[in-house]
Structure formats: C-alpha cells, structure tokens
C-alpha cells in the first residue's frame, strides 16, 4: 500500500507561527471593513423583488425567500432579522446594522439587506 506522509504528531514551531498569524489577521480584520457613517436607507434584495425602506421609521417587515419568511425589524434606526427559516441563522447574528456598507445576508434564503448612506441617495436623486 502506498505509504502516506510522515508527520510529527506534536505541534511544531511553524504551527505556533501560523497560529499567531491567524490570530493577528482575525483581530485586525474589522479594520479592513467599510465603516461608514450612520446610514439612512435599507436596500432589500430577494429573489422576487428589490425594494428600499427608510431606516428612520420603526417597523416589522416580512421578507420572503425560497425557504420562507423572516422578519426585518427596524428599531431606533437599526435593523436586524428575526424568525429566519434558514438552518444556520447566520443572518440573525449579523444584525443589528445601521452604518452604510453594512449588510445582513441570508444565502440559503437568498436575501441581502444593505444599509446605504445619505450621500448615495443624494447622488442618485440629483
């Protein structure tokens, strides 16, 4: 039988260096993110329709995808998803969002919600 690869079964120096590198990458990753100003508009993309709602008005909006309906809750200028029908619920922990560029994504349910700032809306309306 073709032999496999001989490998030490204890951690080595290179493993430790890799661990440090990954910890640094993880710790500093928020710095590479688009951290815009507080946004004004939520852009909602689903398989059936695209729409925009203001972030300034509190509300509870049903958002449907192939798996079912989740609720987009807007409260005090921030938005998050509730009652998501997807298995992993990553979309629920991605909220609340309120800064432009921030997103809530539910890939299994094909929903993308994004915050846009006032500037972008102005640019479109001018």
Binding stretches for another protein (CB under 8 A): 1-5, 7-15, 18-19, 22-23, 25-27, 29-30, 32-34, 87-90, 93-94, 101-103, 105, 107-108, 110, 112, 114
In the bound complex, what is the minimum distance in angstroms from residue 27's beta carbon to another protein? 8
Q: For the CB of residue 75, give the shortest distance to another protein in the complex, in Å.
A: 19
Q: What is the DSSP string of the chain?
A: --------SS--HHHHHHHHHHHHHHHHGGGGS---SB--EEEEE-SS-EEEEETTS-EEEEEEETTEEEEEEEETTEEEEES--SSS-HHHHT--B-BTT-EEEETTTTEEEEEE-HHHHHHHH-
Smallest gap from Cβ 71 to another protein, in A, equals: 18
Residue 57 or 87 having the CB closest to another protein: 87
Nearer to another protein, 18 or 37 (CB): 18
Q: Report the nearest approach of another protein to the CB of residue 94 (Å).
A: 7
């Amino acid at each position: 039988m073709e032999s496999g690869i001989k490998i030490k079964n204890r951690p080595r120096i290179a493993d430790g260096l890799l661990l440090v590198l990954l910890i640094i990458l993880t710790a500093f990753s928020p710095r590479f993110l688009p951290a815009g100003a507080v946004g004004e508009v939520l852009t909602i993309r689903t398989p059936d329709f695209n729409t925009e709602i203001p972030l300034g008005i509190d509300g509870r909006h049903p958002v449907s995808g192939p798996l079912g309906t989740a609720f987009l809750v807007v409260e005090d200028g921030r938005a998050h998803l509730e009652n998501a029908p997807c298995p992993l619920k990553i979309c629920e922990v991605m909220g609340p969002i309120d800064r432009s560029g921030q997103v809530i994504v539910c890939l299994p349910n094909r929903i993308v919600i994004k915050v846009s700032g006032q500037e972008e809306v102005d640019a479109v309306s001018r």
